[in-house]
Structure 1
Amino acid sequence: MDKLIHVSTKEDIFPEYRETPVGLLLEYHNLHRSFDSYSKAQLLIGMCMDNRKHLRIPDNFAYILRSGGGNLRYSEFKISYAIAIGGVKAIALLGHNNCGMANLYSKKEKFIEGLVETAGWNKEFAEEHFMNFAPMYEIGNEIDFLLSEAVRLRSRYPKILVVPLFYQIEDNDFYLIKE
């Protein structure tokens, strides 16, 4: 965790992110900056679907895509739309600690049992479902995944600022990641 930098003052924001939509995101969320008014989105936030995360941002400030683990591999058309039509010039990738998509295979039996008991599936179908989709959604280590996803998106959208951020569930704050 020595790669994580807590943002508790404006000076903690890396210079290359200050005065950008990502810098504003950090100011709104961590530093409780007063909300400005927006008529169009300034950035795209890709984040986990986890229910423990709440963003402190103004209305109309960002497009938000939520998916397991913040995995945007299967959301590229939506990303392209936010850039091409929405005009965003920055993407914040927001991962968090204790993510359910990290080490997904360790949850296999609980996943299957949950579908059988809660959804009424038969065990074989639930197991097949897990085995077909888990490889697509497994992220491994949260920070390593964020860094690799940032590299992937930067190569796909070279003019777009792509910044991986880490969300600590315990303190509800964003952290910068030393790359």
Structure 2
Amino acid sequence: MAQLVKINTREDILPQYLNTPIGDLIEYHNFNKHFFETDKKYEHAEILIGMCMDNRKRLNIPEKFAYVLRTGAGNLRASEFKVSYAIAVGGVRAIALIGHNNCGMANLKAKEEKFIAGLVDVGWDRKAAEDHFNHFAPMYEIGNELDFVLTEAKRIRARYPKVLVAPMMYKLEDNRLYLLTED
């Protein structure tokens, strides 16, 4: 079962992430670590952040610090070439997978009619809209947000074993990052 780790102080950051780009991400976002005139200037990205395309989230990070891939639920399965590029060419050695609560990609079946009706409203044929949903929804359905992020982190770790991968959650109600652990 997934557990959220609340990060209120630097000491709350799990040891494997301290003094890494993952720890820096948490410090920039949760603690408003200063990154303007006096702090480090980044010449290249140090981390890849995979996060949801949801417009309710915004990270507080410095310029040039990260590659950011925003997809439904932060699902990187269809973006693997981009992940490989960031690692192989961009040189990143850390990935933050950031899910969030109340994600629209969770329980897609319950949104089927709204999805189809929305496409019909903008000119789609109803049958084409139904086929579109039925074809793609299974690829993008994530189930439980916490479990999805942990599973995706495990998949990415297996694919890139020398890259540090941190499963995280963004809570919409407090706009803070949390680490995820498994019992």
Which category describes the TM-score, using the shorter chain as reference length?
over 0.9
Percent identical: 63
Equivalence for 2:68: 64
Match of 1:46 among 41, 50, 58: 50
Equivalence for 2:115: 111
Structure 1 residues 2 and 152: alpha-carbon distance in aligned structure 2, compared to 1, 3 A threshold: closer
CA contact (8 A) 2:112 2:133 kept: yes
Q: Deviations over 1:89-143 (max 9, x none)?
A: 00000000000000111100000011111x2111111000000100110000000
Equivalence for 1:139: 142
- 1:8-157 matches, cutoff 5 A: 8-35=8-35, 36-117=40-121, 119-157=122-160
Q: Are 2:156 and 1:172 aligned?
A: no
Structure 1 residues 155 and 130: alpha-carbon distance in aligned structure 2, compared to 1, 3 A threshold: same
Deviation at 1:2, TM superposition (A): 7.4
Deviation at 1:37, TM superposition (A): 1.3
Deviation at 1:9, TM superposition (A): 0.4
Deviation at 1:42, TM superposition (A): 0.5
| Aligned partner of residue 174 in structure 1, secondary structure | strand
Give the letter aligned to residue 150 of structure 1. Answer: A
| Aligned partner of residue 166 in structure 2, secondary structure | strand
Q: Give the Cα–Cα distance (whole angstroms) in 2 for the partners of residues 2 and 106 of structure 1.
A: 24
Ranges of 4+ aligned residues in structure 1 off by more than 6 Å: none
Deviation at 1:34, TM superposition (A): 0.8
Give the letter aligned to residue 11 of structure 1. Answer: E
Task: Please list every run of 5 or more consecutive structure 2 residues that lacks an aligned counterpart in the other structure.
Answer: none
Give the letter aligned to residue 93 of structure 1. Answer: L
Task: Please list every run of 5 or more consecutive structure 1 residues that lacks an aligned counterpart in the other structure.
Answer: none
Q: Give the Cα–Cα distance (whole angstroms) in 1 for the partners of residues 19 and 120 of structure 2.
A: 50
Deviation at 1:177, TM superposition (A): 1.0
TM superposition score normalised by structure 2: 0.95
| Aligned partner of residue 62 in structure 2, secondary structure | coil
| Aligned partner of residue 74 in structure 1, secondary structure | helix
